[in-house]
Homo-oligomer: A and B are copies of this chain.
């Protein structure tokens, strides 16, 4: 069973994927993407994957979006949650879920190329999974993310899909965001994300898109060139509470944003992560303002540079592109 281990200095939890444990020779360094494998995610190939957890079907009963358990899960769903110490260390058993969301029955690689209704269905499935997984009281956080392209960890099969991981701990980055947003709120009594949106819409320097209640922008202090954030203009801590109308609007805006990135940057690999408030809010005293201080959003990071090596060790990022320029280029890219 996988283990969750905590770094005793940084407080960062790491999944030690025992089921996937590799030996030195397994780490063959592959410079360019290897040939594509047979796709198990296309319509008609359902027998190649584990049975579906759920799916969204059209009127004729054919699936449009399909959720399946990962064949090689990072975390597993069986047994009781235990936590223990070991010398100076803390660990938890690797309890959680790891699902794949197959975003289309067709063999389309990039979410940018799905039609808006299809993207809306995908986001609607995310919302449903959030609500469903949230019923398990052992789970603290649900992370929805997408690896597109070889350099972003997208693997050897080019079929648009995303992953949903639920964990019994809050993720470090989520904690940091919650704490940062709370610190800002404590001083200003305003949501830092709402302030950012207001400032950016006024300054019009880093706005990529402003449509249908959503704004896409190049953040003021990006880690990576052409990093793009997508935020709802209406304040809300919880992604999964989006209305049907907002889901449709989000689908339009995300399709446009991803298409701009694809066209401008020559179809780069990218990661996409949804940041939303944890549904377990166990410290009502400490986090009592979370409804007002946190604002869900989506972060898209294209993989364009190799220079991000030492950032892992230092937490220090050097961005070789001005976000103002990046926003201008993206804004002016017609899609």
Residues of A with Cβ closer than 8 Å to B?
5-18, 20-24, 27, 29-33, 74, 87-89, 143, 145-147, 150-154, 165, 167, 171-174, 176-177, 180-181, 184, 192-193, 195-196, 199, 202-203, 219-226, 264-266, 268-269, 271-273, 275, 299, 301, 303-310, 312-323, 325, 329
Contacts and interface: CB of A to CB of B under 8 A. Distances in A.
Contacts of A275: 313
Contacts of A14: 221-223, 317-319
A306 B21 contact: no
A313 B221 contact: no
A151 B23 contact: no
Given A145-B310, A153-B309, A88 B195 contact: yes
Given A9-B184, A27-B304, A310 B147 contact: yes
A232 to B, nearest CB: 16
A117 to B, nearest CB: 26
Given A7-B220, A184-B8, A314 B171 contact: yes
A261 B140 CA distance: 37
A273 B316 CA distance: 12
Copies in the complex: 2
B173 A12 contact: no
Contacts of A174: 314-315
Contact of A12 (B33, B301, B303, B315): B315
Nearest to A305: B27
30 contacts: A5-B220, A8-B184, A8-B196, A8-B220, A9-B193, A10-B180, A11-B176, A12-B317, A14-B318, A14-B319, A15-B317, A21-B320, A23-B325, A24-B264, A27-B304, A32-B32, A87-B199, A88-B184, A88-B192, A143-B316, A145-B313, A147-B309, A147-B310, A153-B307, A171-B315, A271-B313, A273-B313, A299-B313, A301-B312, A308-B312
B309 A27 contact: no
A24 B6 CA distance: 39
Contacts of A329: 23-24
